[in-house]
Structure 1
Amino acid sequence: MAEFSFTEEQQQLRAAVRKFCADNFDESTVRRLMESEVPFDAKVWNRLGAELGVLGLSVPEDDGGVGGSLVDQAVAVEEFGATLACGPLFGTVYLAVPALVASSAGSARDELLAQLVEGTATAAFAVTDKAGAFDAAAVTVTVAGDTVSGTVKRVVDGAAADVILVAATGSDGVGLYAVDAQDVVRTPLSTLDLTRPQANITFSDSPARLLAGPEDAERVITHALQVGSALLAVEQVGAAQHLLDLSVEYAKSRLQFGRQIGSFQAIKHKLADMLVDVEHARSAAYHAVWALTDGSDDPALATSIAQAAASAALSHVAADTIQVHGGIGFTWEHQAHLYFKRAATVAALLGNAEQHRARIADIVLDEASAEDATRVADGLPV
């Protein structure tokens, strides 16, 4: 598989998802949903699974999916990011589905995975991460028999999910469990990005179904967090590309002193910098997706590079979009602020850019040798 080369089927998938998003996640619909008690339309979500089949694109056919690749899933996610599609994508598609795919077959796992893929149920992933990596020492929930107890804070999509996937520590180690939402106490939080709600979730002797035992849980959770990091980076690319297109169009149509503002050198430079940020992020994000698909690179390194690049890119592009649009860009009526808030929120999910840069340095320096060191010019003969 050649990297960064999309097939004709993937291009058709992109077109289909783009049309669906245009019809169902336009700006007025997003604004309405983000203010509602349940911030997504359950019927539209069901259509994403049953009609469009994009909730489980990378799920094998034997598990009820379409048998595609993670690249297929990323193509759809990029379009979701471009429109700020409302729904529990982060908890369900980015994290829960990959975790279930990586888990061993079983009645609880198979039933839940089928429901998530079909769009008849949603999930949240209540696993505390350390900059996008699993840390067993950070698990705050304990298991006793078939019940779990404890609290997990700031769970994305936790306020409305049907099922909570939670890591819990028992006498044998950490396992991954599924808990029905009706058996937990959820405390919705006030968030900057209203399109992506969060909640604190409290488990109190809540009945739990084992999905992955101590021998598999770390592998399963690590896989889910890596896939989630890659897909989140792709989502950021989609949002950044939308803002770049919006800014270019505005620069062509907005007149100042009788000229298009896009003819001014300062605006040209800003738009050029935005393009470089977007393309850099896109390359890093899809490289991470391909690395997870065919094992062509270290997934921990590739996903950290993707997260560092995409988080920084979307933050820069969102801020510059407001500057290009001038006064109107600062108003509540303009969509730029919705993307600016999304950029600020997702930049902190699964680790911020600084944390991922630190991880990249650790990985690279740990594996580096004196022979691989970069040569510094010193003026002496070689």
Structure 2
Amino acid sequence: MTFTSPADVSLLADDVETDLRASVRKAIDKHAPPERVNGVYDGSDDVTAPLWSAFTELGLPGLLVPESLGGAGASAREAAAVLEELGRAAAPSPFLTSSVVATTVLVALGDTEILPTLASGEQTAALLVGPPVGLPADVLLVPEGNALYAVRGAAVSPVSSLDMTRPLADVDLDGAERTLVSDDASAAIDAALLMGAGLLAAEQVGVARWSLETTIAYLKERRQFGRIVGGFQALKHRLADLYAEVEQADAAARYAAATLASGDADAPIAVHVAAAFCSEVAVHAAEEAIQLHGGLGMTWEHPAHLHLKRAKADALLLGSAEAHRAALAVLVDLPAPS
């Protein structure tokens, strides 16, 4: 498979991205339908492992790993396509934490020991940037000062999470095996967090688009007072406004992924814009989905609650919208508020 050239900054999907998206959606539809994802909240996770196995067969864990280390040598654009599909399904997967953030750190540091195991899907990794940490993870990448250590065998204590499809845990590193990865990892960690925030925006677009499309489909069928609910002018205006928001978010996320893929100097600005905007659009779209589905949207069986929880959790995962706006203000030399 030939992937997009890093120099290509077009926002339009090419054939490779389209085919990749279709393959990912097929795997998610098979292994992570809403009723099985719902089971995660009842303590029965029969989704994560089968879906990760399917992703491994597609070569997705190694999407950003160089070909010389067993990966696909793809770019942020392809990874963004995967995350958008994960957002559409609110599906549990370590793809963001392991295949994007942790992988980006290790690639930047020139690692050749851990990356092959991540590319094969044999192991997963997570960057420990503060308690609690996202799971699952076989290897924790732990910053200490400017250094970065790979830690195995840490004691893990799961904690409650609003989005149980992205489980969290407190970690005790005492007595765990650790190996120095680099004594100068600060720049690599910053690059990985920027990549993570930029591609998380794609997942948020997936959440928002599912919410919009599902709501439109429902309102085309739901009748009230003898009329199709979607025919009411007030609802048409709300959906039109939401459609505009989702399309704007999609453009922002695609541009962020394109600049990350090409190494464009505009990447930090593009990422902070996308992260701030897409975060709020995802929450708004998910809230609208629940409200416009009426009583159905409040039921446990309907997947709207899964998408609202994912949107709310994503809004804090790699920085709040306010934090990204503050970072953006510094980059574009806006004056501090008085």
Shift, 1:99, TM fit: 1.1
Which of 304, 320, 330 is the equivalent residue of 2:298?
Answer: 330
List alignment gaps of at least 5 residues for structure 1: 129-152, 368-382
After superposing on structure 2, the runs of 4+ consecutive aligned residues of structure 1 that deviate more than 6 Å are none
Shift, 1:110, TM fit: 2.1
Q: What is the CA–CA distance in structure 1 between the aligned matches of 2:194 and 2:142, rounded to whole Å?
A: 17
Say whether residues 1:296 and 2:264 are aligned partners.
yes
Which of 139, 161, 167 is the equivalent residue of 1:163?
Answer: 139
Higher percent of residues as strand: 1
Which of 139, 148, 151 is the equivalent residue of 1:176?
Answer: 148
The 5 Å alignment of 1:1-382 reads 1-36=8-43, 40-49=47-56, 51-104=57-110, 109-128=111-130, 153-157=131-135, 160-169=136-145, 174-180=146-152, 182=153, 184-214=154-184, 217-365=185-333
Q: What is the CA–CA distance in structure 1 between the aligned matches of 2:49 and 2:180, rounded to whole Å?
A: 27
Shift, 1:87, TM fit: 2.0
Structure 1 residues 268 and 163: alpha-carbon distance in aligned structure 2, compared to 1, 3 A threshold: same
Secondary structure, aligned partner of 2:10: coil
Q: What is the CA–CA distance in structure 2 between the aligned matches of 1:62 and 1:48, rounded to whole Å?
A: 20
Structure 1 residues 322 and 95: alpha-carbon distance in aligned structure 2, compared to 1, 3 A threshold: same
State the partner residue of 1:148: none
Secondary structure, aligned partner of 2:161: coil
Counterpart of 1:322, as a letter, is I
Q: What is the CA–CA distance in structure 1 between the aligned matches of 2:144 and 2:296, rounded to whole Å?
A: 48
What's the RMSD between the two structures over aligned residues? Answer: 1.7
Checking the alignment, whether the CA contact within 8 Å between 1:233 and 1:307 is kept in structure 2 is yes
Q: What is the CA–CA distance in structure 2 between the aligned matches of 1:251 and 1:297, rounded to whole Å?
A: 43
What is the total number of aligned residue pairs between the two structures? 328
Higher RCO (Cα < 8 Å, 6 or more apart):
2
Deviates more, 1:261-270 or 1:202-211: 202-211
Q: Deviations over 1:222-249 (max 9, x none)?
A: 1110111111110111111111110010
Larger radius of gyration: 1
Structure 2 length-normalised TM:
0.92
Identity %: 40
Secondary structure, aligned partner of 1:111: coil
Structure 1 length-normalised TM:
0.82
Q: What is the CA–CA distance in structure 2 between the aligned matches of 1:297 and 1:242, rounded to whole Å?
A: 32
Structure 1 residues 96 and 301: alpha-carbon distance in aligned structure 2, compared to 1, 3 A threshold: same
Counterpart of 1:110, as a letter, is T
Checking the alignment, whether the CA contact within 8 Å between 1:56 and 1:73 is kept in structure 2 is no
Secondary structure, aligned partner of 1:166: strand
Structure 1 residues 21 and 38: alpha-carbon distance in aligned structure 2, compared to 1, 3 A threshold: closer
Q: Deviations over 1:268-302 (max 9, x none)?
A: 11111211121111111111111111133432211
Checking the alignment, whether the CA contact within 8 Å between 2:9 and 2:262 is kept in structure 1 is no
Counterpart of 2:170, as a letter, is N
Structure 1 residues 127 and 39: alpha-carbon distance in aligned structure 2, compared to 1, 3 A threshold: farther
Q: What is the CA–CA distance in structure 2 between the aligned matches of 1:178 and 1:52, rounded to whole Å?
A: 27
Counterpart of 1:120, as a letter, is E
State the partner residue of 2:3: none
Secondary structure, aligned partner of 1:110: coil
Q: What is the CA–CA distance in structure 2 between the aligned matches of 1:262 and 1:21, rounded to whole Å?
A: 29
Q: What is the CA–CA distance in structure 2 between the aligned matches of 1:52 and 1:345, rounded to whole Å?
A: 27
